[in-house]
Amino acid sequence: MALLQISEPGQTPNPHERRIAIGIDLGTTHSLVASVRHGVAECLPDAKGRVILPSVVRYLPGGGRQIGEDAVTGGVGDPENTIASVKRFMGRSLKDVALAAKLPYHFVDHPGMLGLQTVQGEKSPVEVSADILATLRYRAEDTFNADLYGAVITVPAYFDDAQRQATKDAAQLAGLNVLRLINEPTAAAIAYGLDNASEGIYAVYDLGGGGHGWRLSPGRRRLRPRAGRLGVGTNRCCRGQRH
């Protein structure tokens, strides 16, 4: 089995040092996990063969929780405890949530990052995201029947330092070693080989559920972020930002 190799530029790990690494797309509406198997990058399915995991967590009385499809189904009559689109709240305060009054959640305003009051008490966006990431981690560990070395996680190009740090904190809480955060448009460009022997200028668009981003790839091995916009995706609840 060929496994994904992650190493610093100019360094190649020895064969006996190779470990299992995964890639995670922590999306606003859906998430997934992938790795290289038999030389091919593949999205890893759950026990029911489902690749896509809805980015939804429902907190239940007594300490239980539902994640993914179960949360979507079970949360229809329990919206205040069913947290969706939590990625929008990462590293954000309540004033950054433009439509907060129209959302079913009970927000707790904090100077740094807001909280969400649930039947299990207050949950931070980091904790909710960690539940999603842990689900993907367990899926990967079950697939390989082995512990993971680490994960590369995609983030929107517009994410600022606070949002990126919140993503790292969530991964750590989920028991993941973050090898690298990579901008979503960059990940798309690399997936199509635009960082390796590709000539010309390419525009790579990231049409996400929570925001849109794009990247120019001029010439060979140069990927430049050009724009990102929050609040123009299919799932809108926060103020638009542009970088």
Range of the domain at 30: 15-230
Q: What CA–CA distances, in Å, run from 237 to 88, 97, 100, 228?
A: 8, 6, 7, 16
Please give the Cα distance from 13 to 21 (Å, whole number): 13
Q: What is the CATH number of the domain that holds 108?
A: 3.30.420.40
pLDDT value at 114 more than 60 = yes
Residues with a catalytic annotation lie at 25, 87, 184, 206
Identify the band that residue 157 occupies on the pLDDT scale cut at 50, 70 and 90: confident
For residue 48, give both structure tokens. 């029911």
Average pLDDT over every residue of 125-146 = 97
Does 107 fall in a domain?
Answer: yes
Secondary structure class of 235 (helix, strand, coil): coil
Identify the band that residue 176 occupies on the pLDDT scale cut at 50, 70 and 90: very high
Domain count, the chain: 1
Does 165 fall in a domain?
Answer: yes
The per-residue pLDDT for range 15-69, each reduced to its tens digit, is: 555 689 999 999 999 999 999 888 888 999 999 999 999 999 999 999 999 999 9
Does 138 fall in a domain?
Answer: yes
Does 225 fall in a domain?
Answer: yes
Beta strand extents in the chain (DSSP E only): 21-26, 30-37, 40-43, 53-54, 56-59, 65-67, 82-84, 106-108, 115-118, 121-123, 150-155, 178-183, 201-207, 211-218, 224-230
The per-residue pLDDT for range 63-89, each reduced to its tens digit, is: 999 999 999 999 999 999 999 999 999
Please give the Cα distance from 41 to 118 (Å, whole number): 38
Name the pTM for this structure: 0.81
pLDDT at 6: 53
The per-residue pLDDT for range 189-227, each reduced to its tens digit, is: 777 766 665 566 777 766 655 555 555 555 444 445 444
Q: What CA–CA distances, in Å, run from 55 to 4, 145, 153?
A: 25, 24, 15
Does 2 fall in a domain?
Answer: no
Does 71 fall in a domain?
Answer: yes
Identify the band that residue 122 occupies on the pLDDT scale cut at 50, 70 and 90: very high
Secondary structure class of 62 (helix, strand, coil): helix
pLDDT at 233: 45
Does 9 fall in a domain?
Answer: no
> Which phi and psi angles does 37 have, rounded to 5°?
-125, 125
Strand duo 150-155 + 21-26: pairing: parallel
Does 240 fall in a domain?
Answer: no
